[in-house]
A = this chain, B = another copy of it.
Amino acid sequence: MRFLIVFSYDGSKYFGFQKQKEKKTIQKTMEQALYKIAKTEVKITPSGRTDTGVHALNQTAHFDLDINITADELKKALNAILPADIYVKKAKEKNNFHARFDAIKKEYAYYINIGDYNVFEKDYVMQLNKKLDVDKMKQASKFFLGTHDFSSFCKKRKEEDAQRTIFDIKIVTSGNKIKISIIGSGFLRYMVRNMVGTLIEVGQEKISVDQIKKILQSKDRCKAGAKAPAEGLYLRKAHYKKSCF
């Protein structure tokens, strides 16, 4: 029986999603919980990985279970076993569902504090603690819209196709908080954090608005801004065709 689950996690104490020997990761923790329920090894497949320290508001994954359990029982059993920083919001039986291949869009959010340093946000919001020219950042962000080769904004694996489509990018301020929301067809490694880091440098007038276009065209990672830190980044949602849910 195939299940999909939607779950949130505070990534601050994890070495990212993917299983690694000796290291606490989201995948390992989730598979250990499933092992206790299924009494056999269960492999989970997420919509995509997240890196060390990155959070998820709604990550989606699938796995196959060969036991007699309802989706509701599964959700309860997982939440009873999982540590307090991972929480299953939804579980559903769904044959033929594939969390990675069926995802049509991904949505990320990045939070920046431009006000005074806040001890309570250190693992959850980038503590820039400096003002930014948000209007310039908004103008610059428009250059990301559409389909581009994002080689300048990723840690590229050899031969990987770096073409991705950005459907929407929104920058909203609320008091001393800036939220950058990005929806795309998919994201390369560090792509969101490199885009955000570059927008921050536009907001600091280290990079001009028009330069974004040139950076994209250069396909050269060295041209873009510094990667923004992990703690501000949240996988908000993987989007699927309606029929999947």
Contact = CB atoms under 8 A, between A and B. Distances in A.
A117 interface: yes
Q: Which of A9, A10, A89, A119: most chain B CB closer than 10 A? A: A119
Interface in A144-195: none
A101 B117 CA distance: 29
Interface stretch (A39-47, A79-87, A211-219): A79-87
A149 to B, nearest CB: 35
Nearest to A116: B89
A84 B119 CA distance: 6
B84 A122 contact: yes
A120 B122 CA distance: 12
Interface of A: 8-10, 55, 79, 84-87, 89, 116-120, 122, 124
10 contacts: A8-B118, A8-B119, A8-B120, A9-B119, A10-B119, A10-B120, A87-B117, A87-B118, A87-B119, A89-B116
B119 A86 contact: yes
Given A55-B120, A84-B119, A85-B119, 5 more contacts: A85-B122, A86-B119, A87-B118, A89-B116, A120-B124
Contacts of A118: 8, 87
Nearest to A86: B119
Q: Which of A8, A9, A120, A124: most chain B CB closer than 10 A? A: A120
A124 B55 CA distance: 17
A124 B79 CA distance: 20
A191 to B, nearest CB: 23
A243 to B, nearest CB: 26
Nearest to A8: B119
A43 B73 CA distance: 54
A37 to B, nearest CB: 19
Q: Which 8 A-B pairs have the closest CB atoms?
A: A10-B119, A84-B122, A87-B119, A85-B119, A8-B119, A87-B117, A10-B120, A9-B119
A104 B79 CA distance: 45
Contacts of A122: 10, 84-85
Contacts of A85: 119, 122
A119 B9 CA distance: 6
A124 B86 CA distance: 16
